[in-house]
Amino acid sequence: MIPAALLLDFGGVLADARDSRRIAPPELVLRIFNLVRGALQPGEIQRGLTDGAEAYSRWRDEDWPDELPQAEVWERFVIRGWPPAAQVPVRGAVAKLSYDWAWRDDWELRPGIPEALAAYTAAGVPLAVVSNTLCGAAHRDFLAKAGVGHLFAVQVYSDEAGVRKPNPQMIWNATDALGVPPSGCWFVGDSRRRDVACARRADVGRAVLMPSGRVDPDDPVLSPEPDVTVEDGHALAQLILQ
């Protein structure tokens, strides 16, 4: 059965970074150091970004979360405790700094993704991105740069939607924009905790898991099983060819 639409997560499904541990890019640290005019040393900035990312990650594991505005992410998790001389210029550059923090120079499309997107497009299946992120603009720009952005009819990002997966509103925003029922769609994610759970809550027709190495809680309620598991984009393309 051909789906009414194919919804895909970004990180771990469409693309991934070669080094997922790169939380505080040196160029971002230097940019903030220049911005605050030496009010903090580079090591202090790096520690603030690293500790802030870990705290933000713990917060993101809450259930049914609303997304925080970019400014609040920086206030709560990064610049709290910084001297005013550092806080003030960062507050004035939150949008640009959030883009730079979200962007990864080493993002690459996962194997088989171009072929999968082409197969579903050829079958007349509309495509949408549904992704949690601090800055959807960075994801949108990468997909355009990779030559596949034009294939997506809709791109829904948590920083723009104000909610995060597993909140089903993320999926409903996409299906509403596409004008299709969730029950007729397939959703592809790399996390049972966020993606498969979101698909179940949204009553999506088929939850597809594409594992990427991310670890889910060992709890069948928090981390439900998918309908099907695929290794990569090549296997995802085979689902529709079947």
The pTM of the full predicted model, rounded to 2 decimals, is 0.92
Instruction: Write down the pLDDT at residue 41.
Output: 96
| 155 DSSP β-pair partners | 129
pLDDT per position as a tens digit, 104-146: 988 999 999 999 999 999 999 999 999 999 999 999 999 999 9
pLDDT per position as a tens digit, 28-54: 999 999 999 999 999 999 999 999 999
Has residue 223 got a pLDDT over 80? Answer: no
In the predicted model, what is the mean pLDDT of residues 156-167? 95
